[in-house]
Chains A and B, each alone.
Chain A
Amino acid sequence: MTNFFIKTDLSRKDAENIVSDTLNNCDDGELFLENSKSESIILDDEKIKSSSYSSDLGYGLRAVTGEVIAYSHSNEISKNSLKQSAKNINSTLKSKKGVYNQEIPKTNEKFYKDVNPIEKKTLDSKLELLKEINNYTRSKGTIVKQVTASLTGEHKSIEIIRCGGEVLTDIRPLVRFNVSVVLEKNGKKETGVFGIGGRQSYDEYLKNNNWKTVCDEAFRIASTNLDSKPAPAGEMQVVLGPGWPAILIHEAIGHGLEGDFNRKKTSAFHNLMGQKVASEGVTIIDDGTLHNRRGSLTIDDEGTPTEKTVLIENGILKNFMQDRLNARLMNTKSTGSGRRESYKHIVLPRMRNTMMLNGKYHQEEMIKSVTKGIFAVSFGGGQVDITSGKFVFNCTEAYEIINGKIGSPIKGATLIGDGPSILKEVSLVGNNMMLDPGIGTCGKAGQGVPVGVAQPSILINKMTVGGTQL
């Protein structure tokens, strides 16, 4: 655990006093201290392209009254700096008066261990591994034109000091391993990318030559795309594979169910609580409690223990995801979804691991039922416009389906749909739910946080496929 009060003229007692004085007349808020260490080692073009290490330390002082948030952050942990922050906050909130909400639930459960992935594996063994990965992947043939492999690790220590001196802490490890391959055949180039990761040490993910399966997968995706033909354009049936394609759920539905957009009534879902928003058989949860998963947190960035939040149950909208501010203003409780990228950012309600639960159908049944459509196995990034509900995502591996059979692979097409109506178009839910490999980062208001997704295969009656073949 980091001791934030050594090497500074600011004592814990001083900090507690400033926090209490500043927040006493506010509804909520805290001092958030963070010490994060991270590393990134990248092999590219046969060489170690970069090896970097970063150490970031700082605090954010937040006061909330009514709907107003006053925030001040700095990387100088000192008496002067914190007093300056308190002064700024007081001047913003001078005319507002609140009653501090002392109540915050407690937990003893931890969803990941206190390991420091950066120190747990030596630099030499990381460099050696990256070289081995390069050789292994390039040995797959002369069509391999480029291999990029990276190891990134993080060890984040946070402390929350609330008005009255209550302290909450968490230590969060995170690693990610990624391989990207560029192949060239007959003048045509294609890329394949695959990665894995989560909140454990590197070796938990790389051991037993597990890294080879990551290289194999990146190579397989690129090879498939080499044989791809242009994607069709227009509305058609779409079968989504299990696992990572649940990014569709994340973009199309997840963001629209975050508390802030609904309090502000800018989400297309804000007046649909208790109503049917999805086909029967569709149940979606957001779960921060899965052990060692990328999107999991023992406590969120306001100190609330995370939980398994049911968002949609059998097609009915049940809950939004809440931080403390939005929960208070909407007369409900925090779901442990208050997250921030770092001490430099304000808290927002965010997703953790967003999952569509199993139905009863086999993937083969879905494909058989499609006359003309596509089978989407993997995606790159996605995006949503919360207000209109329109979302897109880009296929990185997809196939055409003709008369119930999987056909040729098709080139990266964009799929576009309408968030509030897409779940009503889900006609079959599979029985093969899978978690994604641990690679997701969600962006909102300029803040990136690690997230997870999961789903079984699903059949969507109609979506627009943005190819070039009319």
Chain B
Amino acid sequence: MVKDKEHLKKKASFCIDFAKKLGATDASVTIMHSISETVNFRNKKLDESNRSDSLGISLVTYLDKKKSNITSSNLDEDNIKTLVERCIETTKNTPEDEFNSLPDKNLLARDFKNLDLYDSDHIENDKKIDYLKEAEESAFKNKEIINTETGFSETKSNFVLVNSDGFENGYKSSSFSASCVAVAKSNGSMERDYEFTNTCHKKDMMKASQIGSEAAKKALEKLNPRKIESEKINIIFDKRISKTILGNFARAISSASIARGTSFLKDKINKKIFSDKINIFDKPDIVKGLGSRYFDSEGVKNDPLKLVEQGILKHYLIDTYYGKKLNLQSNGRNGGSSNLFFESGDISFKDLLNLSSKNLYITETIGHGSNLVTGDYSVGANGFIVENGEFKYPVSEITIAGNFKDIFNNMTLADDLEFKYKTNSPTMLIEGMVVAGK
């Protein structure tokens, strides 16, 4: 069982009181506890079972405008005392920074609607094993599948955030996730792909047979890929990838990147940065949402935001420190975006494939080729050539490159948005990107 709120609050209050006693003018502490149980299967046999019990404390102390922090996994009272002493000592010796402070009191979260983020259901390992067996059996139905790896993980967490301005709250959350990786082999070509499900509540998980058969299907489709010529081509990003484009956008509008002047979207507030029809939302209050939260990591209320409206950038993601630096109020985005998504487009997936006679459909990218200072984007990729709306053959060992400014402005979205991740996007067409192959 995860430790209850009262237990965590008691420990947290001890830290705050002790820090104040040693002279801290302000302090903020987060204590979290999580228990996670995982079972992994491989080729229809048990591979690993893992139980993880983690307790963590993170304390920030302020001496007026001086600040320092410590983290620890050891909640022994003597240890905490030593650490708080060390933290205060370090704070004394750290230079002042005028923007250091706890969040404004009037911005702290007060009203909470129930987001249903905790499912007390517990699945015994034997039941997890049954699920994984079923997933693997369904993947192995095709003879070209030579290997499978599956895993099932259940996590229960609880945390409290307490600060010296009287904020004192926290909540439990749960996570159920299962995945299946399938390796397909034919004519000397070997490819792998996966499917997974990750939900807050057990009953919302995908069926085991479905993740097994989807993983197998995707791996099989990738077999015997070709390399294509270098050219300028329209690219369609599968939902797995289009969400990463949205994720890069979110990182580029974080108040930290903006205040530091290291974002290609600096000074773009109220300016048009996407195609006309693009709308982007960040909604922390979706019931059972994977990115849902009652407040941000500083305790600040986080209202839903329409970040981009008709292609125009309306908000940055702002925390207390960089907000003060930019002379803007925190909008509760310390810790980044919550449930971030593009509004669905007005064209079907099928029509999107048919928008031009030839497209490169990308299902996988590898590498970390996003430069948020310049907006340059260059990654390795796998996918399919789509001609006249039909998937023709798989391609691999290519790279795609462009700049986010152009990518944002040449974007068309399909109407197939679903909430599978924390950040979600419909299938996305980008006109005219450069692919490097042969």
Given pairs A55-B79, A464-B227, 6 additional interface contacts (CB within 8 A): A72-B50, A75-B54, A76-B53, A189-B262, A234-B437, A381-B368
A11 to B113 Cα, complex, angstroms: 48
A69/B397 in contact, CB under 8 A: no
Per the 8 Å Cβ criterion, residues 312-366 of B in contact with A are 364, 366
Number of cross-chain contacts by CB at 8 Å: 241
CB–CB A73/B52 < 8 A: yes
12 A-B pairs with C-beta separation under 8 A: A45-B259, A48-B97, A68-B47, A69-B49, A71-B48, A75-B54, A231-B378, A388-B222, A388-B396, A390-B380, A394-B368, A413-B378
Whole-angstrom distance from the CB of A48 to the nearest CB of chain B? Answer: 5
Cβ of B268 within 8 Å of any chain A Cβ, yes or no, is no
* B191 interface hit (Cβ, 8 Å): yes
CB proximity of B210 to chain A, nearest CB, Å: 22
Q: Give the distance in Å from the alpha carbon of A160 to the alpha carbon of B400 in the complex.
A: 47
Question: For B376, what are the chain A residues with a Cβ–Cβ distance below 8 Å?
Answer: 411-412
Which of A92, A387, A393, A413 makes the CB contact (< 8 A) with B46? A92
**Stretch of B64-72, B166-174, B238-246, B288-296 lying at the A interface:** B64-72
Chain A residues in contact with chain B, CB under 8 A?
7, 44-45, 47-48, 50-58, 67-76, 81, 85, 88-89, 91-92, 123-124, 127, 145-146, 182, 188-191, 231, 233-235, 264-266, 268, 344, 346, 380-385, 387-388, 390-394, 411-418, 464-470
Determine the chain B residues whose CB is within 8 A of the CB of A75 once the complex forms: 53-56, 73-74
Our pick among A85, A91, A464 for the contact of B437 (Cβ within 8 Å) is A464
Chain B interfacial residues counted at CB < 8 A: 74
Q: For chain B, what secondary structure do more than half of its interface residues adopt (helix, strand, loop), or is it mixed?
A: strand
| B contacts, CB < 8 Å to A | 42, 45-56, 67-74, 76, 78-79, 83, 86-87, 90, 93-95, 97, 125, 146-147, 183, 190-192, 222, 225, 227, 230-232, 259-262, 364, 366-369, 371, 373-374, 376, 378-380, 382, 396-402, 434-438
Q: Are A88 and B51 in contact (CB under 8 A)?
A: yes
**Once the chains bind, are B366 and A470 in contact (CB under 8 Å)?**
no
| Chain B residues within an 8 Å CB radius of A234 | 230, 436-438
Q: How far is the CA of A188 from the CA of B53 in the complex (A)?
A: 48
What 4 A-B pairs are tightest by C-beta distance, nearest first?
A466-B399, A392-B380, A392-B367, A233-B436
Take A146-B262, A464-B399 as given contacts and tell me if A48 and B73 are in contact as well, using a CB distance cutoff of 8 Å.
Answer: no
CB distance from B77 to the nearest CB of A (A): 10
Contact A414:B401 (CB < 8 A) given known A72-B51, A234-B230: yes
What is the CA–CA distance of A214 and B371 in the complex, to the nearest angstrom?
Answer: 22
Which of A92, A414, A467 is in CB contact (< 8 Å) with B125?
Answer: A92
By a CB distance below 8 angstroms, the chain A residues around B397 are 390, 416-418, 464
Q: Which residues of B contact A51 (CB under 8 A)?
A: 68-69, 90, 94
Contact of A73 among B46, B53, B225, B262 (CB under 8 A): B53
In the bound complex, residues from chain B placing their C-beta under 8 Å from that of A380 are: 368
Question: Assuming the A-B contacts A48-B97, A53-B70, are A468 and B402 also in contact, with contact meaning beta carbons closer than 8 angstroms in the complex?
Answer: yes
